[in-house]
Every structure is written in structure tokens, then in C-alpha cells.
Amino acid sequence: MKRTMNRTAVLLAALAMFCGGTAYAGNPDRAGSAGATQLLLNPWARSSGWGLANSASVRGVEAMYGNIAGLSQVNKTELVFSSTRVADTGMNVNSIGFGQKLGSSGVLGVTATTFSFGELEVTTYDNPEGGRGGYKPTMANIGLAYSKSFSNSIFGGILIRVVSEATSNVRTQGVCFDAGIHYVTGPQDNMHFGIALKNVGPAMQFSGDGLAVQGLLVNGSDQLTLQQRSGKFEIPSLLNIGAAYDWNVNEMHRVTFAGTFISNSFTKDQGLVGVEYAFRKMVHLRAGYLYEKDITSAEERASWFTGPSAGVSFDFPFGQEKKSAVAIDYGYRTTNPFGGFHSIGLRLSF
């Protein structure tokens, strides 16, 4: 056990040193220059309720977005479905995640997220008003993760994610990874700390027939096809540093205070704070607030989120030891433009 603790401490220090070099790499002037920004949208309902302020204490399948170390807290098997609707648009985000305990300390996880935008009108230079049919752009990402409990206090994990974006004739695909560590301490294991590095990977590039242009030579006798090259774009990597404290009032009531600092590579840094109240571990009420520079200014704000978030969860335990449960989660985040993000999820744990 001592040897394991020493190895884990070295890993934690190495990750902290590596992340420290990028913690101040954020540049607001680069906002909008990254691609694959689908990776910045939290698809899960429970953690969305307080804006992912709980990155240091997130557990189970949802940790595959917040901090992969929390996946190690899956009891045996966990399956989560979540659907997010963006009000006043045709956009929907659907996610599914699965976690399975392997041995006494490891957990294997799989997650998939798809984005639906409905059908868009085809427009061209000669037909700017459309009238030539429609197409359906698609975005998706699939992740494979492994998380492990190194001790009663230290948990770590890594995730590899495949990202794809496509229209009818242009597409791109890339790979990135996440890594994270959780540390738990306190007399009742009620103090949580976490650090996670997310969306680290090589640059991506679009390709396809949609980048080709056809034309005639000067004499008009021959047709020529010119294949254009898309510029490469970076994936929006970021660093999460979080902390949380559980105030266990008694066996029936718990209040958790949480905060997360997000250092973005391509936009403004963000701070998240949140609070959750739990009654009998069955009813959970939560609220959060996201802050970034100029968050209240519609002209200067770099995010479509305007700050507040809220959510509720109902857990229905069953089984002899009440360790299995069915849960319904709901989360809401305010936005401008559009009418906010509504997320609803169903969780099965055994």
C-alpha cells in the first residue's frame, strides 16, 4: 500500500507540474479559433445543474466529462442516458454512458454523445436562397475510459476520445485524451480535491468533395477541378482545478459546497461555484453560477452561457442493501442567445 501511495503521489505531482505550465495559456483573443468545440458542452443533466462546479466530487459515468478520476466510484454497473434540448432551436444533444467495475479497484467506461441540428437548406453561390434540398450536419464523439482507486483517498483515470464532424460532403475526425486525479480527505471523507487535463490531442483538418471547385479553362474547352485544402485547427484543451466540501448535518441532510477553476486555451478562464442539498440521499437540489470576465456584457461575453444554473435529482434506491438505484436528473442553464439549455437524464446503478 505504501508503494502504491508513493507512485500515486509522484503521478499527482507530475500532472500538477504539467498542467501548471498551461494554466495561464488562455488567450481571449483566440476565442473562436479552435474547432471541435462540441467538447466544451457538458451533456449530462446532473452535473449541469450546478454548471460542473462539482468537478472535484463528480462520481460515476458523468465523471467521463468532468474529471475521469470519478469514474472509479462506480459501485458495480452504471448506465446513464441524457438528452439536452436547446430552447428555440432545432438542436438536441443525446448521450449514453456505461461504467463496469473490473476487479476490486478498476472501472472501465464507454461514453457516446451525438449532436442533432435538424435539416438545413442547401445554398450555393448561384442559389443563395436555397431551393436545392437540404442536408443534416452531424457531430459526435465516443470515449473509452479506465479509472482506478489507488487507495481510499486517491483516484485517477484516463480517457481516449474520438471526435467526428461532418456534412454531406465535408468531414473531419480526430483523437484526444483526458486525464484526471481526485484526492479525498477529512474525518468523514468529506473534503474533495481534483485536477483534470482535458481535450489534449493533435490538430484536426476538414476534407471532402465539398472543398473542390469546378471551372472551365480560358478557351472553354476543358473543365478543371480545383481541390482546396482546409487549414488545420486545434482542439480546445483546458485544465480543471476543483474543490468540494460535504457538510453532513446528520443522516438525513447533507449540504455540499463546490468550486472549479477552468483555464481555457482558446477563450477566457472561468470560475464556477455551486451548492447542493441532499435529503436522505434521495432528493437533491442544486444551483450554480459560472463567472468569466464580462459575463454580464452581451457584447464582450465569449460564452453563450450567462451564469446561473439549477437542477434537481430524485434517487430511488432498491435491493437488500439499498446500493442499487434508479435516478431521474434535470438540469437547466441560462443562455443568451436562445432560451436556455434543458437537460434530463435517467440513471441506473447496480
> CA–CA separation, 323 vs 311, rounded Å?
23
**268: buried, middle or exposed (CB in 10 Å: 19+, 13-18, 0-12)?**
buried
In terms of Cα–Cα distance, which of 45, 47, 79, 73 is closest to 60?
73
- pLDDT exceeding 90 applies to what percent of the chain? 66
Q: Give per-residue pLDDT as tens, 297-306.
A: 888 888 889 9
Residue 31 lies in a domain: no
What secondary structure does DSSP assign to 280-344, as a single string? TTTEEEEEEEEEETTTT-TTT-SSSEEEEEEEEEEEEEESSSS-EEEEEEEEEEEESSSS-EEEE
Residue 8 lies in a domain: no
Residue 221 lies in a domain: yes
Q: Which three cell numbers stand for residue 96?
A: 449514453
Q: Give per-residue pLDDT as tens, 31-77.
A: 667 889 999 999 999 999 999 999 999 999 999 999 999 999 999 99
Q: Give per-residue pLDDT as tens, 224-262.
A: 777 788 889 999 999 999 999 999 999 999 999 999 999
Residue 343 lies in a domain: yes
In terms of Cα–Cα distance, which of 58, 48, 50 is closest to 109?
58
Q: Give per-residue pLDDT as tens, 5-39.
A: 444 444 444 444 444 444 444 566 666 678 899 99
Residue 7 lies in a domain: no
> CA–CA separation, 92 vs 26, rounded Å?
29
Give the domain extent around 185: 48-349
Q: Which three cell numbers stand for residue 60?
A: 460515476
Q: Which three cell numbers stand for residue 73?
A: 466510484
> CA–CA separation, 85 vs 43, rounded Å?
10
Residue 43 lies in a domain: no
Q: Cβ atoms within 10 A of the Cβ of 308, count?
A: 14
* Residue range 161-181: mean pLDDT, rounded: 95
- List Cα–Cα distances, 151 to 106, 158, 186, in angstroms: 11, 17, 15
Q: Contact, 288 vs 276, CB < 8 A? A: no
> CA–CA separation, 229 vs 210, rounded Å?
11
Residue 251 lies in a domain: yes
List of residues 6+ apart from 206 with CB closer than 8 A: 165, 170, 171, 172, 230
Q: What does the pLDDT read at residue 14?
A: 44
| Strand partners for 226 | 213
Q: Which three cell numbers stand for residue 103?
A: 476487479
Residue 279 lies in a domain: yes
Domain count, the chain: 1
DSSP state of 18: H
pTM here?
Answer: 0.87
Which of 48-52, 123-127, 246-250, 289-293 has the weakest average pLDDT?
A: 123-127
Give me the CATH number covering residue 108. Answer: 2.40.160.60
